[in-house]
Each structure stands twice: as structure tokens, then as C-alpha cells.
Amino acid sequence: MKDILQELEDRRADARLGGGQKRIDSQHAKGKLTARERIELLLDEDSFEEFDMFVSHRCTDFGMENQKPAGDGVITGWGTINGRMVYVFSQDFTVLGGSVSATHAMKICKIMDMAVQNGAPVIGLNDSGGARIQEGVDALAGYAEIFQRNIMASGVIPQISVIMGPCAGGAVYSPAMTDFIFMVKDSSYMFVTGPDVVKTVTNEVVTAEELGGASTHTKKSSVADGAFENDVEALAEVRRLVDFLPLNNREKPPVRPFFDEPDRVEDSLDTLIPENPNTPYDMKELILKIADEADFYEIQEDFAKNIITGFIRMEGQTVGVVANQPMVLAGCLDIDSSRKAARFVRFCDAFEIPILTLVDVPGFLPGTSQEYGGVIKHGAKLLFAYGEATVPKVTLITRKAYGGAYDVMASKHLRGDFNYAWPTAEIAVMGAKGATEIIHRADLGDAEKIAQHTADYEDRFANPFVAAERGFIDEGIQPKSTRRRVSRAFASLRNKKLQNPWKKHDNIPL
């Protein structure tokens, strides 16, 4: 009996060594942690339960039968983050470059199936050279099995991908279908085809960092939601994100203890809006001042900065925030910001996270590049996302809400539950100057008359009261009381029930 027990321990020790000490040292030399070290940092201490430690591949071509490492390049199992269950897989670059084989994929599929059945998030720590070439179509089939599970799990359980090494080809499509993608600066890459292939096919010379590094995907492509300095920071931030999210789509997000008075008055907000309506101000200041303990977890901070998305808590409960940012492009909506916000709104709606929308939007960004790029269809994505969302929706207009952008930003007409406005709000079809030049075209030669018409238009429309008279604004509120009013609004909506008509699925304008 003792011999068998010893054999188990020996085999475990061998499996834990992955590709061997030399490769582990090489991983450390690159500033990267090993697959097991990452799991230890991500999960609560001693909470990891491993599956399939001894699984090995079944390939017999190209001499592969002579190297069959235990675990086959991926560590899978479940554990807890702050006491709440999550499933995790961590690809081991020290074992055959973390490449995906049929059995490697089978291990990932097993825990994804379990996660859906048991209603818990899946976190993938990706560090893979792609499909294992020696296995050919078997490896591709394995990838497709993972893809299918990503699709089935979408909207059922949160899926989080952390890119912690080079990921190419099929290795990028699974993360692309997950809810959040995080990268590590200077050590992680994502591309469909690498720099060598790009050079061969298009003659473009590009580095791996320029083609698919963290900066590219957080600032230009919007593929990634955030980038962190190193493995340790990335895993700590994933832990923080999981705390905001429900375990699945049938559960509410967790309620955390809070030490911040829900009726806290914030006098400084009364002077947040500048006297000059064209002077920008930082919308993040408002978000931080109404959030519990000024805690804000921003999503896609470096992409489309004219709109802000992320999570706060109010009275300990998770709230998704979408806010125009007047500091960038005057807060205009454009293609990128519409896509960014629409995806965020749909995530919140899928997982029953209430949405707070802070509005200061002068309209959609004009220009040929926007029109040629399809701003009509992309803007419609955000409109569609808000209109189909059934979660509690509270909207606050701080300053400008002009034209179609007023409608798009969670207006009362898109089933907004509470629509508030500060006294500084201006709700109109367009700005006073543009409107005056259209209405009083005959007086365009007379500067004095135009100035008078503009002033009259501002008096009549550059305020929230016309919309309030129609019932499109529920209440004008004092800026300093915003936290109290918004907190009470969400508290009153905790038992909201709203269902869309039955359909197989919608046809969002992609």
C-alpha cells in the first residue's frame, strides 16, 4: 500500500514540474510566472482542486509518442475567489509551448461544461503557441470544441480571459468570445497571423508588440479591456473584477459591506459644471463622488475615451456605469464609443447588473470617416442595447443632451426607469446657435437679430424644464444630492420585473 501511495506522490511531483526546471527558469527569466504559480495567486489559498493531472496526449506521429508529459500543457480545476467558486484553466508554456492538442482541449471543455452546469465563472489564463502542429486536424477540432462551449456559456456565466504570453491563430478566438480580456504589458501578444506571415503575404514589416501587443489591443483595436504591468498585478485585478460579478445569470451580483452613507451630500458637485457650456470637466469626478468609497473599476479605459464604462457599488450592490466624457471629443458619440458602450450594456443586462447612465453628449461626431465607417449602424448598436435591456436603468443628464444622442443615452423613451436632470441640463434637438441659423435663416445677415434669436432659444430650450413638462424627465435634482437620489432609485428597483417578447434571439445591427 505504501508503495502505491508513494507512486501517487511521485507522479504528482512529476506533473507539478511541468516541462522541467530548465523551462521553468526560462519562464521566470522572461518575467512570467508558471501556470501553477498563476493559479496560486488568482485563487484563495489552498482552495484549488485540480482535475486531470495525469492526462497525456495520444499522438504517435513525428516522435510524439516519446514525449508524453502529464497534464498535456494545461492545468484545470476549480477553487474560490474571496470564498466564491470559479473554474480555471492555466496553460503551461513550459510543456510543448502550451500548444493545444485534442486532450488539452478536452480538459478545458470538461471544466467549461462543469462551470455551466454548476453556475460559476470560467477564468482562462492563456499562454499558448496555438494548435499543436503534430496533431493536425485533431488540434483544430479541439479548438472548435472550446469555441462552441464559449458560445453556449455566453450570457450564462461570466467568462474572463487573461492573456499571459503569445497567443496566435486559434488561440485568440476563444478569448475573443469571452466577456473580458486582460493582457500583460510587454509579455503578451494576440494576433491571428504573426509578424513573419504578415511580412510574407503583405510585405509589411511589423514587430510582435506593434502587431498584437497590449498597447495595440487596449488603444486601437479594442480587443482587450485592460493591460497590466505584470502577471501579479493582472491576477490581482481579475480577483477584484470577480467581486463585482454574479456567479451566473440566475444570481444577483454579490452584496458587499459598505461604510459610506447612502445619503452623503457632496457639495462640490454643485460647482462641477463650468459657467461656459463649452468648457470641459472630468466626468470621472462625478462617478467617484457618488460611488461607495470612491471605488470605480473601469473597463476599456484606454479605448474610446469619450465614453467611460465600468463598475461601482451603491449601498454595497454592483452598478454598471456608462458616462460621456466631455474631456475627450466634447463627449460626442462616435463609432468606437458606441461599440464599447453597447457591449458593456449588453453584458450588464445579461447578468442582471443595474445600469447608471451619466449624460453630457452634444451629439454624434460628424465627418466622412464616421459616415463611411458606418456610424449609423454602430450608433444603432448602443441604441439597441439600451432598448432591449430589462435591468434597472437610472439616467442622469448633467449638461448637454442633444439630438439623436439624447435618445440613445438611456432616455425615458428606451424604458428608462428613473430619468433625472441637473438644473444645468440642456435637452434639445441641437445647440442654440445651429438651431437659430436654421429656424431664422432669413435673418442670417443681421448679427444683432441672430444674437437675440440665439438668446431666446437658449432661454426656451437650454434647460431641463421643457422635457420635464412632458414627463421625459422625472425630476430635476440638486447636484450635491445625486448620490442619495440615485441610491434610492436603485433601491426602489431591486424587485423590478420586465420581460421582452419571446424570440429565438434578436438581430442586433452588427
| Positions marked active-site | 169-170, 404-405
State how far the Cα of 414 lies from the Cα of 408, in Å rounded to an integer.
8
The amino acid occupying position 279 is: T
User: C-alpha 121: how far from its chain's center?
Assistant: 15
3-class secondary structure for 16-43?
HCCCCHHHHHHHHHCCCCCHHHHHHHHC
State phi, psi for 247 to the nearest 5 degrees.
-75, -30
List C-alpha distances in Å: 382 to 15, 223, 395: 48, 18, 15
Quote the cell numbers at residue 47.
482552495
State how far the Cα of 55 lies from the Cα of 67, in Å rounded to an integer.
13
State how far the Cα of 221 lies from the Cα of 336, in Å rounded to an integer.
9
State how far the Cα of 325 lies from the Cα of 333, in Å rounded to an integer.
10
User: DSSP secondary structure string, 235-298?
Assistant: HHHHHHHHTTS-SSTTSPPPPPP--S-TT---GGGGG-S-SSTTS---HHHHHHHHSGGG--EE
Nearest to 424 by CA among 465, 457, 483, 474: 465
Report whether 72 contacts 57 (CB < 8 A): yes
In this structure, how many other beta carbons lie within 10 angstroms of the beta carbon of residue 237? 15
State how far the Cα of 310 lies from the Cα of 308, in Å rounded to an integer.
7
State how far the Cα of 26 lies from the Cα of 48, in Å rounded to an integer.
25
List C-alpha distances in Å: 118 to 104, 150, 171, 361: 22, 15, 26, 42
State how far the Cα of 91 lies from the Cα of 104, in Å rounded to an integer.
9
Q: For residue 115, give the 3-state DSSP assignment.
A: helix
State how far the Cα of 453 lies from the Cα of 232, in Å rounded to an integer.
60
